[in-house]
Amino acid sequence: RAIKYTEFILRNVATIQPQQKNKTAMASLPPTLDFAKTEEEICSKWSTESTFKTQDALGVERGDKEYTFYDGPPFATGLPHYGHILAGTIKDVVTRYAVMTGRRVIRRAGWDCHGLPVEYEIDQKLGITHRDQVLEMGVDKYNDTCRGIVTRYTKEWERTVTRLGRWVDFENDYKTMDPTFMESVWWVFKELFNKDLVYQGYKVMPFSTACGTPLSNFEAGLNYKDVSDPAVVVSFPVVGMEGVSFVAWTTTPWTLPSNIALCVHPTMEYIQILDKKADKRYILAKSRLGQLFPIMNNKKKWKPKMADELYAIEETFVGSDLVGKKYQPMFDYFVNDEDAGEYFRILSDTYVTDDAGTGIVHQAPAFGEDDYRVCLAHGVIQKGKDLPCPVDSNGMFTEQVPEVKGLHVKKGDDTLIALIKDKGRMVHKDQLQHSYPFCWRSDTPLIYKAVPSWFVKVEEIRDKIVENNKKTYWVPNQVKEGRFHSWLTDARDWAVSRNRFWGTPIPIWCSESMDEVVCIGSVDELAELSGVRVTDLHKDVVDEITIPSKKNPGTVLRRVDEVFDCWFESGSMPYAQKHYPFENKESFEDGFPADFIAEGLDQTRGWFYTLMVLSTALFDKPAFKNLIVNGLVLAGDGKKMSKRLKNYPDPNLVIDKYGADALRMYLINSPVVRAESLKFQEPGVLGVVKEVFLPLYNAFRFFSQNLERLEANTGTKFVPSKDKVSAATNPTDVWISAATQGLIKFVHEEMTAYRLYTVMPALVSFVTQLTNWYVRLNRDRLKGLEGGESESEAGLQVMYDVLLDVTILMAPFTPFITEYFYQHLRKLQPSYADAANGGGSSNPVMPGKSDSVHFLTLPAYDEGRLNADAVEAMEALQVIVESGRYVREKRNISLRTPVKCVTVILRNPSANVIESLNGPLKGYILSELNAWDLVIVPKEEEHEWVTLSLTPNFNLLGRKLGKKMKDFKTHVTSMSHADAVACLENGGLDFEGLTISAKDELVSKLAFSKEGEHWESTSTPEGDVVVAVDCTQDEAILSAGRSRELINAIQQLRKAAGLDLSDAVEVFFEESAGINVVESAVSNNTNLFEAKFQGAIPVPKKFAPSWSVVLRSDSADIGGSKVEVSICRPAVAGRCGLSDEVGYFLSTLEPSNLDGSALSITVDGKDISVSQGEDFW
């Protein structure tokens, strides 16, 4: 009797936490998952266990056929950005998919080590502005300095790429500066040389004066800026026509000292005019008078009669009439040239236009691609001979133009313009705002300049290249058929040489007169001809080597000065990475062309092009079979991402914040995979986490919790069974199984076609179907609350099967979260025991036994489980439920408040849909919409509920009907319901002699027409489904709604208390004095609570034992009043009138331990017997 009541309470407090249960293999999933941290742990696991190497080793052991993949080498002089991450993700997805469908993929990292990006950085570091400074320093020292930075960021690349989940072999990487790689590049060039596809000539190319080197047209297009340049019209007096001058317009006055010709269009109309104000005579295109008289371009001010005040037309010509006429040069710098007799005359070419200028174009062949072509065609200049070019490789004027010697060409404009004015040759001067190319590395204006170059004869093999392109498959196809095809059909000879130092030297040794030329194709050949064997092929080494002349004994051949354009090296990558043909000959030839490559849209004129040119020249084959082209990733404001502007988030920070899987899915599930642009938005990455990964994880954890509950309640271990899944009869089980098989089939079809842009939306949509529909519709069933544990196990079998299939299927796309899921799911498989002692990293691979999801083979779809009827019926259910919810929102009716009836009208539903909605799916619809009845209106009664209306399909009928459209619209929109139905059933109608198709040319919609304010309705956008809800509210409806509100309050308390699904509690509520709204609702709806809480019904607080231990309590708004709701640890309750001592004793009992028998206790020597069901409960 000395034991106090409070001690009993303290004893109970120690046991208020849920009892520990025997945990299943899948237990202990945290309530929330830190995706980024989990990914880092998985990365560490992969590294420790060499998972990537093991995956490859398993494929080698099985003898999997190789799937050839070429990875274009990036420069490692900068850090990876979103463009690299996007392209890398696409490559990783496709190659992972290939491996998981039975192919072996060699994925070597490669680095572009040569070229302008490296040299420019060194020039900036060393303050080098002129080529001579490199020669003074020593090419060997310069190249050593370049070599020292090319791999500076490789570790950072490896860290980012690995953290992204991309599997690439960094240990066995290749570098374009490796002697083996360079030797294969030599072989490629010699093959072209032997096929007479190589020649030396001049080429006018975009030229970076800051870097002292020409650029490819591709590089020149990378950095355009809006600038203001001087635009001048200058005169060229005609020889033999006193007082008459040709006039030409140019935005590059600095090129005028090099002028040696003028060009007209052969068929354009030209006129000789008298400029009345200037009292001078000019010849120009008639359509370009506005260039001399700008007021003519102002349509508001210009009046034709004003022409008489400005000019008089004295003579008219056709362009061809002017060809051959001579003119006085602007400057006399080149009048004494050897070929000057051909200079300073009129030429013609159709490239001249009249959209700007004067219709007469000044020709400086050293500084214009068309100028060079036209002058060459007219014999003004000759191939192989020097051109008038008074500008050095740094863009400075030479002593040939003494007035501006040493000035950069852009800074020489003002001086030259002043000289032209002094000569009386300036007609008009203005400033022009236009877009101009800048060097993508130095950010300085480019010029166009003729440089001696080594060329590959692309034009000679252009037709073959075009034909080989037709053999390739591109995604999207319009890039292949449009942009790339156009580029190929206009392809010009390719200048492959650069006047630089850090690159693969062009392997040509020649005499000074070029009458003896030798092209070297290997180290052995060089050693044989020179007697010197080298281990490094860079310029500073091979330039020291001479080859004895065979034509002129006693003399030697020396290597030409140039090195290869780095695009030639990257185009040679398929051969050079394998040191072909010196090694790996058979493996290369077996795997060529490559099965797959991928890069950005900007590579259509870059890597894709060089690959195609060289493979055609060497083998008359395309270099690849399949190609995915991605678009550009822009900053959120639509501008180019810029480190300087800091207009985008650091990729590493985004990965650390949201995880790599989220970033991968965000990028792949966007227009950028269709070669369109993506404005990168960080909230979009967060959206993937919230809308895909969190729901998927919650569904996965829900499965795990119920699996644990099932095993605890039944005492049996869950064993996955395909037979049980196939035998499932629940309509949602059949549907989700069918949908999963359909997804598997779709993914294989689309991935075979490389359409990632269709796969990702399908995967995201399926996750929604699984989490938002299957799990929600079956929540109580999976908990064992509907149909008992047998139904629960049936659903969990199906859910396990779906989760495992989808986990494996998504592995190539989201490698981390799928690995996490798999490591839990595998433990349920009987074969999991075989993973011990290295079994998990051995063949054959199988779910459970295999240590990684990435060792497995992707599931093949089961034809027998595809079920179009089940999918069709579930689609109808979802439309009805979503429409019903919308109707509730329109009337502001909470989902916790039931509605009496939902009426559905479907336009021409199949018998399967009607049978399913009225049968097995009906209960789901009633539950989801909290409705008491569902009516699917039969076809013969639909006219009582809806009206069918028709409208024209204006897009299709516009041309067909023309002016009749208005009358036709009136005709069809005025049809009665019966007439509209008849029209559709007949397939259309005739209107004024025209047949109108109901299927394509009419739009039909159903609209609710039942009268009564208690109805609320909506129709789908397509107008083929109408859902109407009877919104009548009576006491029974309101009472059921309050019960739902109480259930929700209880669930929130359970969640806040951290309870598991299997933890039983007692619920008590307390209303304000005199109010019994909740008590009445509970008593009227006990069946709801019994079903939801396994027989436990909430009761007023006055019935709670005084010793009840409250786990959580809070107030809730139910039926408009505040109610205190408490969840308590289950306790024994005693009848009124029991002594305190008996009450103390009862408070110590655990309800779950009672078996219904009477209990005997002794208090102060007195025996007391109490019976369950009479004295206590």
Please return the burial class of 644, using the count of CB atoms within 10 Å of its CB with bins 0-12, 13-18 and 19+.
exposed
Instruction: Tell me, yes or no, if 603 is annotated catalytic.
Output: yes
Residues in the chain: 1177
Is residue 1166 annotated as part of the catalytic site, yes or no?
no
Catalytic residue chosen out of the listed positions 55, 73, 80, 735: 73
Nearest by Cα to 1125 from 1038, 1065, 1174, 1173: 1065
> Is 291 designated active site?
no
Which of these is catalytic: 423, 551, 643, 722? 643
Tell me whether residue 430 is one of the annotated catalytic residues: no
640 in catalytic set: yes
CA dist., res. 1148 & res. 1132, Å (int): 8
Question: Using omega within 30 degrees of 0 as the cis cutoff, is the peptide bond preceding 593 cis?
Answer: yes
User: What token pair was written down for 244?
Assistant: 């008459």
Active-site position among 112, 123, 805, 1175: 112
Q: How would you label 354-390 residue by residue, b for 16+ Cβ within 10 Å and e otherwise?
A: beebbbbbbbbbbbbbbbbebbbebebbeeeeebbbb
In contact, 425 and 234? CB cutoff 8 Å = yes
Cα angle 154, 159, 162; round to 5 = 115
**Coil, helix or strand for 1169?**
strand
E strand map for 1084-1158: 1099-1100, 1110-1118, 1121-1128
Exactly one of 286, 326, 625, 640 is catalytic; name it.
Answer: 640
* Strand blocks (E) in 251-386: 261-264, 269-275, 280-285, 311-318, 345-348, 360-363
999 class by beta-carbon count within 10 Å (0-12 exposed, 13-18 middle, 19+ buried): exposed
| Cα distances (Å, whole numbers) of residue 53 to 157, 166, 355, 721 | 19, 13, 62, 32
Structure tokens at 729: 């009869």
φ, ψ of residue 521 in degrees (nearest 5)? -115, 5
Give 159-162's long-range contacts (Cβ < 8 A, gap of 24+): 160/79, 160/80, 160/85, 160/651, 160/652, 160/655, 161/80, 161/88, 161/109, 162/43, 162/47
Task: Output the furthest CA–CA distance in the chain (Å, rounded).
Answer: 147
Show the beta-strand stretches assigned E in 468-519: 473-475, 494-495, 497-498, 508-510, 517-519
Q: Strand pairing partners for 235? A: 247
| Number of H-type helices and E-type strands within the chain | 45, 42
Question: Is 679 assigned a catalytic role?
Answer: no
Considering 607, 773, 945, 1107, which one is annotated as catalytic? 607
Which residue shows structure tokens 């007209």? 264
Contact 666, 761 (CB under 8 A): no
Are β-strands 311-318 and 261-264 bridged in parallel, bridged antiparallel, or unpaired? unpaired
Contacts of 148 (CB under 8 A, 6+ apart): none
Look up 157 and say whether it is catalytic.
no
| Tokens at 818, concatenated | 């799928």
* Helix (H/G/I), strand (E/B), else coil: 515: coil
Q: Give the Cα separation of 74 and 94 in Å (integer).
A: 19
Pick the catalytic residue: 55, 363, 603, 769? 603
Identify the residue whose tokens are 């953290």: 163
* Neighbour order of strands in the sheet with 446-456: 213-214, 198-208, 446-456, 494-495
Tokens of 291: 């260039």
DSSP string for residues in 1039-1065? HHHHHHHHHHHHHHHHHHTT--TT---
Contact (Cβ atoms closer than 8 angstroms) between residue 111 and residue 71? no
Q: Which of 46, 167, 567, 773 is catalytic?
A: 567
> Active-site positions?
73, 112, 567, 603, 607, 640, 643
